[in-house]
Homo-oligomer: A and B are copies of this chain.
Amino acid sequence: MSVDPNLAQRLLAGDRRALARAISLVENDDPAGWALVREVYPQTGKSAVVGVTGAPGSGKSTLIGGLVKNRRAADRSVAVLSIDPTSPFTQGALLGDRIRLTEHFLDPGVFIRSMANRGALGGLSEASLQAALLMDAAGRDDVFLETVGVGQAEVDIIDHADTVLLVLMPGGGDSVQALKAGIMEIPDIIVVNKADHPLTQTMVREIRGVLSLAPQGSWKVPILQTEAVDGRGIDELMDKLIEHRAHIEQEGTLSERRRNNLRSEVLALATHRVRRDLEQRLARGDGFEKLIDDVVARRLDPASAAAAILGDDVP
């Protein structure tokens, strides 16, 4: 595949087609894609990056659709990166959702891209981080990252956000329990979507209880209520997102947060690369199934088999 020598220039100028092309390159693990990110990286760090996470069915995509509309009304350019396999941005959504979102497809100020999960080799995680950087380099004022909040790849991409928004739905008590148990990290903003549901107030009270027990920083995590389908509560939510960003900028924690995020990203990229090398080595060699035979027959224990694969001495 030949790569347009002016791709970086066009990307930096905000050309949508160049952005789409660049993301395809990183998605296809094309060395030209990696070189491109390297070239444009000095121009990144300008977008306001919001991570939107939540269980499937909580209405994240519809909510993002509403936020995008708000941003466009404020004349800001937007990019959406969805790595949620259940998202209508990606596939398999209800027709209604698709129709609500298509209005944005026609707007050149909105760039939407989805990435499907391509196995567990870490490829998705690497590609999504690079894609987020490309959107930033292309000068998008706001970048929304949509993730389902389960699994390694999704956790990695949320690490890229300046502001993390958790979307809950009434009756989705498992997420509240996970927050309570400290298994899920406390986000910056919590929204209870589908707030016309009779269980909404119960859920809000529960979340308030959880937050009251969490260590208090200088930012008080707000709990908002939205009905994304009707656009209710969206503008208030966007105001809070802007307020959070202003807060971390003012406090100086944005740069600290970004430093931590970038450290996590570098580690994640290194780990994924190592894992991929390992998987490739196994895919090439036919000795692996022979080793597994020995493990199944209880002649060789799993740890020794792992050491053998790595070419280490048995520990």
Cα of A182 to Cα of B58 in the assembled complex, Å: 15
Contact pick for A183, options B56, B169, B273, CB 8 Å = B56
Given contacts A44-B298, A174-B55, contact A38 B304 (CB under 8 A): yes
Are B85 and A270 in touch, CB under 8 angstroms?
no
Enumerate chain B residues within 8 angstroms of A282, measured Cβ to Cβ.
267
Check if A148 is an interface residue, CB within 8 A of chain B: yes
Enumerate chain B residues within 8 angstroms of A265, measured Cβ to Cβ.
302
Enumerate chain B residues within 8 angstroms of A274, measured Cβ to Cβ.
271, 274-275, 278, 310
Cα of A35 to Cα of B299 in the assembled complex, Å: 14
Interface string of A292-315 (1 = CB under 8 A from B): 100110111111111101101011
Looking at A184, A263, A275, A310, the one whose CB has the most chain B CB atoms below 10 A away is A263
A165 CB, nearest partner CB in chain B, Å: 16
Number of interface residues of A (CB under 8 A): 74
A176 CB, nearest partner CB in chain B, Å: 9
Are B292 and A266 in touch, CB under 8 angstroms?
yes
Are A37 and B173 in touch, CB under 8 angstroms?
no
Nearest CB to that of A305 among chain B residues? B266
List residues of A (223-264) whose CB comes within 8 Å of B's CBs: 255, 258-259, 262-263
Are B273 and A38 in touch, CB under 8 angstroms?
no
A15 CB, nearest partner CB in chain B, Å: 20
A206 CB, nearest partner CB in chain B, Å: 10
Cα of A55 to Cα of B175 in the assembled complex, Å: 8
Are A183 and B269 in touch, CB under 8 angstroms?
no
Are A303 and B130 in touch, CB under 8 angstroms?
yes
Nearest CB to that of A202 among chain B residues? B171
Cα of A171 to Cα of B279 in the assembled complex, Å: 40
Check if A209 is an interface residue, CB within 8 A of chain B: no
Please name 17 further chain A to chain B contacts, defined as beta carbons within 8 Å, in addition to the given A56-B181, A150-B184, A262-B302, sorted by A numbering. A31-B315, A38-B304, A45-B298, A55-B174, A57-B181, A85-B182, A148-B183, A171-B199, A172-B172, A172-B177, A173-B174, A258-B296, A259-B292, A267-B306, A271-B278, A273-B307, A273-B312
Instruction: Give me 16 A-to-B residue pairs in the complex whose CB atoms sit less than 8 angstroms apart, sorted by A's number.
Output: A37-B301, A41-B302, A57-B173, A86-B181, A152-B152, A169-B173, A173-B173, A259-B292, A262-B292, A266-B292, A267-B282, A267-B306, A269-B303, A271-B278, A274-B274, A275-B275
Ranked nearest first, the 6 interchain pairs of A and B with the lowest CB-CB distance are A269-B306, A41-B301, A56-B181, A174-B174, A55-B174, A270-B306
